[in-house]
Amino acid sequence: MERRACQFCGYLYDPEVGDSFGGIPPGTWFEELPEDWVCPESGATPDQFVLER
């Protein structure tokens, strides 16, 4: 599973972990995140995330 990094704060969205703060269960792919999901640390929107290298 590919992790995505927030361009502003470096938060890593890991599909294997999900986002407990945002109510996203483990196993949720980045592409499956709700449209209103934002980075739990910076408030960045999904289009402001990049693939982790």
* Mean pLDDT of all residues in 23-50: 97
Q: Please check the confidence at residue 47 and state whether its pLDDT lies above 80.
A: yes
- What is the per-residue pLDDT for 53? 76
- What is the per-residue pLDDT for 9? 98
Q: Please check the confidence at residue 27 and state whether its pLDDT lies above 90.
A: yes
Torsion sign (Cα): 18, 24, 28, 30: negative
Give me Rg for the CA atoms of the chain. 10
Whole-prediction pTM: 0.91
- What is the per-residue pLDDT for 16? 97
- Residue 33 amino acid letter: L
The DSSP output letter for 19 is B
Q: Please check the confidence at residue 1 and state whether its pLDDT lies above 80.
A: no
3-state class of 30 per DSSP? Answer: helix
- Paired strand residues for 49: 6
* Residue 5: C-alpha distances to residues 18, 37 (Å): 13, 14
